Structure 1
Amino acid sequence: MKYLDRVESAFSIILFLFGIAISLYSVFMRYVLGSSQSWATEIYTMLLVWAIFIGFSSALKEDKHIAIDVLYDRFGPKMQQFSQIVTLLIGSAFSIFIFWTGLDMVTTAYSQDIKTIDVGFPIWINYLIMPIAGTLLFIRFCEKAYRYFIKKENVTGGGDAEWKQL
């Protein structure tokens, strides 16, 4: 998982920085030199979308997503446990939905040979981020579920943790 963390962070940062650089280049060309670069909008939009979708997984890993702590903190231990399990299930289902929907978008765009307007870039490559993001999110939800149940099991004293200590 450490390798995945590094790859996610590196890709997200690189894509984001290149997207911002192309955006700044486009603004400079348009407002300083008076020469509009229509291709730049397509490229930096794609780069920023990719960076954001990869960032979803990193945010989930670090618990940076929006949460309603006001309600959760008022729940008792049983309700918090139930809430956590429901969140993991819904998140996993959502990840699978993003994967399958994205895969359908990719195959449709690929079979129809759709290209972007200004650059002529195959649009299926833009859509490829959907199944990638769905896979990354699913991996993170599985990781969170594993840590939640293993940690809970070790805290309550059940499972293999006791046997390994003997």
Structure 2
Amino acid sequence: MAEPTSTSAPAPDKPRVPLAIEEALAAAAIAVMGLITFANVVTRYTTNVSLAFTEEYAIVLMVAMTLLGASVAVARDHHIRIGFLIDRFGPRGRLRAELLALGVTALVFGALVVLGTLMTIDEYRFEISSPGLGVPQWLYTLWLPLLSAVVTLRALGRAVRVVRRPDILQAGAGEP
């Protein structure tokens, strides 16, 4: 008996490195931010003292969560695009638009890697400390180039998968 063939959507393209890593780290960042905020609110209402210094941690976690989310969005093809235009392109046009978007993404986040690294080195070299806690600032800044590198690699990985399997690009693809 012949198996039915499916002409609907192509098989999903999955990255080699599981997205669960970024998802777990982003979830942990959200959880810690929630705990910090909850502790700050409870302390403020019970003792009339604010834990304002925790704002530094919350900001770093927010940046980390944003970059981790960007990495997942790029790998899953949920990046922002103008679907109204892209969906009207033929297969070659969609491929070119996708590769252009991924190239620009890799370029921008690659620039963040370079510039973030230079900034981190400067903060380390000049022993800059954070204003609220006096912690070395480079400990906070270090996450910008590291996580930007993750986004860059995810964009390049997606570009490789798209070139190998252009059939994964369909009109309306990438919508959550």
| Alignment CA distance shift 1:100-1:50 (3 Å) | same
Aligned partner letter, 2:124 = Y
Give distance in 2, aligned partners of 1:79 and 1:135: 28
- Cα contact 1:98–1:133 (8 A) shared by 2: no
Q: Percent identity over the alignment?
A: 23
TM-score under structure 2 length normalisation: 0.79
Give the SS at the match of 1:38: coil
Tell me the equivalent position of 2:107. Answer: 93
Give the SS at the match of 2:87: helix
2:36 pairs with one of 22, 45, 54? 22
Measure how far apart 1:93 and its partner are: 0.9
Give the SS at the match of 2:121: helix
Measure how far apart 1:4 and its partner are: 4.7
Measure how far apart 1:108 and its partner are: 1.0
Tell me the equivalent position of 2:52. Answer: 38
Give distance in 2, aligned partners of 1:74 and 1:143: 25
Q: Deviations over 1:61-97 (max 9, x none)?
A: 1223222101111223332222122112211211211
Q: Which structure has the higher relative contact order (CA within 8 Å, separation 6+)?
A: 2
Tell me the equivalent position of 1:68. Answer: 82
- Cα contact 1:115–1:121 (8 A) shared by 2: yes
Q: Which 5+ residue runs of structure 2 have no aligned equivalent?
A: 1-14, 169-176
- Cα contact 2:19–2:72 (8 A) shared by 1: yes
| Alignment CA distance shift 1:144-1:18 (3 Å) | same
Give distance in 2, aligned partners of 1:32 and 1:2: 49
TM-score under structure 1 length normalisation: 0.83
| Alignment CA distance shift 1:5-1:78 (3 Å) | closer
| Alignment CA distance shift 1:145-1:129 (3 Å) | same
Give distance in 2, aligned partners of 1:31 and 1:41: 17
The structure carrying a bigger helix percent of its residues is 1
